[in-house]
Amino acid sequence: MDDKQQLSMRRRLRFSLIIVISQVLLIALAISWLVHMSIIAASGSVYFVENNAYILWTEIAITILITLFGISILIMQLRRLGERRSGERAGDRRATDGRSDDMRAGERREDRRAQV
């Protein structure tokens, strides 16, 4: 594998990992919302009291970080979507012929073998 392929694979792996993390956070949000709504259904209301200011500000900071992470993932996904669409509009053969990158890579290997 050459450096360009390794870089491409690392970028895809990193992006996939970030997407998995964002999906886990989304599931955690859904579960916490379900618990919150279940408590309201059972007792009629929910009250949060945090007497320790350090814990309260830590929770606020973590919530802000998770929100910023979610926004950055959304922006990253929109940019990648825009890149694919612009490639299709420009008549990019890879985006329009329906073949996967793996299929094209296999064809290139076969072409190289035929040349040797």
| Sign of the C-alpha dihedral computed for residues 59, 62, 66 and 71 taken in this order | positive
pLDDT, tens only, 42-93: 998 888 888 999 999 998 999 899 888 888 888 888 888 777 656 555 555 5
Q: How far apart are CA 5 and CA 17, in angstroms?
A: 18
Pick from 34, 63, 36: which is nearest to 48 by CA? Answer: 36
- DSSP letter at 90 equals T
Instruction: Answer yes or no: are the C-beta atoms of 84 and 95 closer than 8 Å.
Output: yes
pLDDT, tens only, 11-41: 888 888 888 888 888 888 889 889 989 989 9
Instruction: Answer yes or no: are the C-beta atoms of 48 and 36 closer than 8 Å.
Output: no
| Annotated domain spans of the chain | 10-47, 48-95
User: What's the pLDDT score for residue 42?
Assistant: 92
pLDDT, tens only, 62-73: 989 988 888 888
Q: How far apart are CA 85 and CA 83, in angstroms?
A: 5
Let me know the angle formed at the C-alpha of 56 by 51 and 60, rounded to the nearest 5 degrees: 160
User: What's the pLDDT score for residue 63?
Assistant: 87
pTM, whole model, 2 decimals? Answer: 0.54
